[in-house]
Structures are given as C-alpha cells and as structure tokens.
C-alpha cells in the first residue's frame, strides 16, 4: 500500500529565503506526482505535475524534482514571499488505480 | 480558466439526515473523484468515476455513500445517514487521466 510522507511538518522562514520541501513515497510504481497548495479552510490548487518519466518541472519561482527510484520529490521555492504562506501537499497517482495518495503536508509560514 | 465548482460551500446537517454534495467538473474531463479531509488530517480518497461507473473506491466509501452523474454535467456525492464522524471538508476533482483539478470544497458539519 502506497504511503506518502512529507518533511518538515512545519517551516517558518524570513522573506526572501530559498527553501526546499520534501516528499517521500514507499512504492516507486507511480504514474505521476502532483504538488498542491492549500490555504486555510480552502481547496487545493495545483502547482506542478511531474510525470513518472520526467525528472523536474518548473513554474515561475517553483521547481519540483522527482527521483522515482528512491521514492522522493522535492519542491524548491525561490525567493520566498509572505504570500507563499500555505500548506503544501504532494500526492502520487498510483499506477494500478486512478486515485491520488496524499501526504500530510508541510505548513509554510514566510515572515515579512 | 475553467474550474471545478462545488455547492454548497458549507452545509450543516443533523445526524441521521441525508445530504447531497454537488460538483460541476470541468467540461471536457473524463475522470471524476471525491476526496475528504477531516480537520487536521490528510486528504483521503473516497471514489473515482469514469465512463458512468465507479472505477475505484476506498474502504471509507461504504454503503452509506453513493455517487451519481445525473445529467452529464453534475457529479454528486450522497451520504444517506450522516454520522458525526462524517464531518469533514469534501473535495470534488476532475481530470483527463493525468493532472487532477480540485474544487474549493464543501465543509460538512454533522451535529
């Protein structure tokens, strides 16, 4: 059964710092991996999607990498801003099904 | 930009009552999902729907739950007899077999 973990659980940084969020999954047989942002009490906003054959994806200040064989993905946020404060979730789409398995999230606070 | 819309945004219901949560997926998507998130916990998969039938469901999705695509545009989740532990945020999502797009959720409170 696929399990997804994320570290750290929470992170507080001053504005302008570059930071890395980590995601690990136990079964490397994934179809793709997606990073989401969730603001308190709100829905999930898709940030980046990495297919299993890809190594990384970039969107603006965000870069996500995938190392399928080691079961890891990282989300790199450059030059963090207070508006980046949110919970970041990673989710893997398993090969044998259509559903996503979510990690518990990393709660990020960027202080002005 | 197309988006998944969910109604209502918040629903309060008494224990034992039936509730229907509604979703309008993105129009050219083929796969539809329901997930839930109990406060402070992980987002959990409930059910996926493709080609007018359930393609996969989790252990959570027992006989009190059902899904329907009644008219080709709406996608509904029905909970027949709500329990206190059904209180959660329920998310609908749609996709074309790769990326999933999520709605803003319906917060269900069972009292």
Question: In percent, how much of chain B has pLDDT > 70?
Answer: 100
Cβ-contact A3, A26 below 8 angstroms: yes
Select the residue of A43, A98, A102 nearest B42 (Cβ to Cβ).
A102
In this predicted model, what pLDDT tens digit does every residue of A2-46 receive, in sequence order?
A: 999 999 999 999 999 999 999 999 999 899 999 999 998 888 999
Residue B103 pLDDT greater than 70, yes or no: yes
Residue B12 pLDDT greater than 70, yes or no: yes
In this predicted model, what pLDDT tens digit does every residue of A36-76 receive, in sequence order?
A: 999 988 889 999 999 999 999 999 999 999 999 999 999 99
Cβ-contact B4, B100 below 8 angstroms: no
Determine whether the interchain pair B56/A98 forms a contact, defined as Cβ–Cβ distance below 8 Å: yes
Q: Provide long-range contacts, Cβ within 8 A and 24+ apart, for A46-50.
A: A46/B99, A46/B100, A46/B101, A46/B102, A47/A75, A47/A88, A48/A75, A49/B98, A49/B99
Q: In this complex, is the C-beta atom of A45 within 8 Å of any C-beta atom belonging to chain B? A: yes
In this predicted model, what pLDDT tens digit does every residue of B21-40 receive, in sequence order?
A: 999 999 889 899 999 999 98
What pLDDT, on the 0 to 100 scale, is given for residue A96?
A: 60
Determine whether the interchain pair A98/B91 forms a contact, defined as Cβ–Cβ distance below 8 Å: no
Determine whether the interchain pair B56/A91 forms a contact, defined as Cβ–Cβ distance below 8 Å: no
**SS percent in chain A: helix, strand, coil, step 5:** 5, 60, 40
Q: How confident is the model at residue B73 (pLDDT cuts 50, 70, 90)?
A: confident
Q: How far is A108 from chain B (nearest CA, A)?
A: 15
Residue B107 pLDDT greater than 80, yes or no: yes
Q: Could you tell me where the beta strands, DSSP code E, fall in chain B?
A: 5-7, 10-13, 19-24, 31-37, 43-50, 53-57, 65-68, 75-79, 88-95, 100-102, 106-110
In this predicted model, what pLDDT tens digit does every residue of A84-100 receive, in sequence order?
A: 999 999 999 987 667 89
Partners of residue B48 in chain A, C-beta under 8 Å: 97-99
Q: In this complex, is the C-beta atom of A41 within 8 Å of any C-beta atom belonging to chain B? A: yes
Contacts of A112 by beta carbon, 8 Å cutoff, 6+ apart: A15, A82
What pLDDT, on the 0 to 100 scale, is given for residue B52?
A: 86
Residue B62 pLDDT greater than 90, yes or no: yes
Q: Structure tokens of B76? A: 């509904």
Q: How confident is the model at residue B17 (pLDDT cuts 50, 70, 90)?
A: very high
Q: In this complex, is the C-beta atom of A75 within 8 Å of any C-beta atom belonging to chain B? A: no
Determine whether the interchain pair A100/B45 forms a contact, defined as Cβ–Cβ distance below 8 Å: yes
């Amino acid at each position: 059964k696929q399990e997804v973990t994320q570290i750290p659980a929470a992170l507080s940084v001053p504005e302008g710092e570059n930071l890395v969020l980590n995601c690990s999954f136990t079964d490397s047989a994934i179809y793709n991996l997606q990073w989401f942002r969730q603001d308190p009490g709100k829905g999930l906003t898709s940030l980046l999607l990495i297919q299993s054959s890809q190594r990384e994806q970039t969107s603006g200040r965000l870069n996500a990498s995938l190392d399928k064989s080691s079961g890891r993905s990282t989300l790199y946020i450059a030059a963090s801003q207070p508006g980046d404060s949110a919970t970041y979730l990673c989710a893997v789409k398993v090969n044998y099904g259509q559903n996503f398995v979510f990690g518990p999230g990393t709660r990020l606070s960027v202080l002005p | 930009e197309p988006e998944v819309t969910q109604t209502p945004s918040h629903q309060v219901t008494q224990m034992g009552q039936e509730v229907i949560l509604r979703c309008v997926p993105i129009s050219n998507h083929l796969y539809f999902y329901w997930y839930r998130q109990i406060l402070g916990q992980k987002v959990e998969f409930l059910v996926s729907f493709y080609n007018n039938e359930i393609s996969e469901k989790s252990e959570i999705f027992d006989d009190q739950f059902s899904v329907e695509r009644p008219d080709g545009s709406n996608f509904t989740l029905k909970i027949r007899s709500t329990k206190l532990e059904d209180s959660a945020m329920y998310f609908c999502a749609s996709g074309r077999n790769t990326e999933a797009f999520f709605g803003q959720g319906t917060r269900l409170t069972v009292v």
